[in-house]
């Protein structure tokens, strides 16, 4: 597809897809899905593994790995973690609220059982961090409510 044709397609889509908060959220979700699958695929390839080799390591079929690497399929959180674990990678989630980091939650995939036991306090620390940020969250919620009323 040429650049002109792709611009025409995007312009056409702009005329038929409403610009609503719901559609904007869907667009962001799709962008995240595209980015996640691209990063996963690149990581596997950089490690020199084929889909078949990774599937064998995971105990699944090659087509399952292919579907997980495709942005056209839903990705269960557990499946993404299993994929990353099989690659020897880890995963971390950062929760932001109005641009402020509220919590960072590591998946802890690459830990030994002993390290995992020792890190259980991290879960408590995250809970405590959220509790400490609770007042900030309430303030942000009140700001949002105030903005809606004015």
pLDDT of 3 higher than 70: no
* pLDDT bucket at 137, cuts 50 / 70 / 90: low
Higher model confidence: residue 50 or residue 101? 50
Residues 52-64: tens digit of each pLDDT: 999 999 999 999 9
| Mean pLDDT across 122-148 | 55
Q: How far is CA 65 from CA 32, 46, 57, 82, 135, in A?
A: 18, 16, 11, 11, 43
Yes or no: say if 106 and 90 are a contact pair by the CB < 8 Å rule.
yes
Percent of the chain, pLDDT > 70? 75
Alpha-carbon span 107 to 139, nearest angstrom: 29
Helix extents (H) in 47-149:
51-58, 62-68, 77-87, 113-149
pTM of the model: 0.66
User: How many CA atoms lie within 13 Å of 120's alpha carbon, on the beta-carbon side?
Assistant: 4
């Amino acid at each position: 597809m040429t650049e002109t044709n792709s611009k025409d397609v995007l312009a056409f889509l702009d005329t038929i897809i409403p610009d609503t908060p719901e559609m904007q959220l869907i667009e962001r979700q799709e962008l995240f899905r595209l980015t996640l699958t691209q990063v996963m695929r690149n990581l596997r390839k950089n490690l020199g593994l084929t889909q078949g080799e990774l599937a064998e390591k995971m105990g699944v079929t090659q087509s399952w790995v292919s579907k997980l690497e495709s942005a056209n399929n839903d990705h269960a959180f557990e499946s993404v973690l299993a994929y990353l674990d099989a690659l020897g990678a880890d995963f971390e989630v950062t929760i932001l609220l109005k641009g402020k980091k509220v919590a960072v939650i590591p998946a802890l995939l690459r830990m030994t059982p002993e390290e995992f036991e020792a890190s259980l306090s991290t879960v408590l620390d995250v809970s405590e961090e959220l509790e400490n940020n609770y007042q900030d969250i309430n303030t942000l919620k009140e700001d949002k409510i105030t903005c809606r009323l004015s």
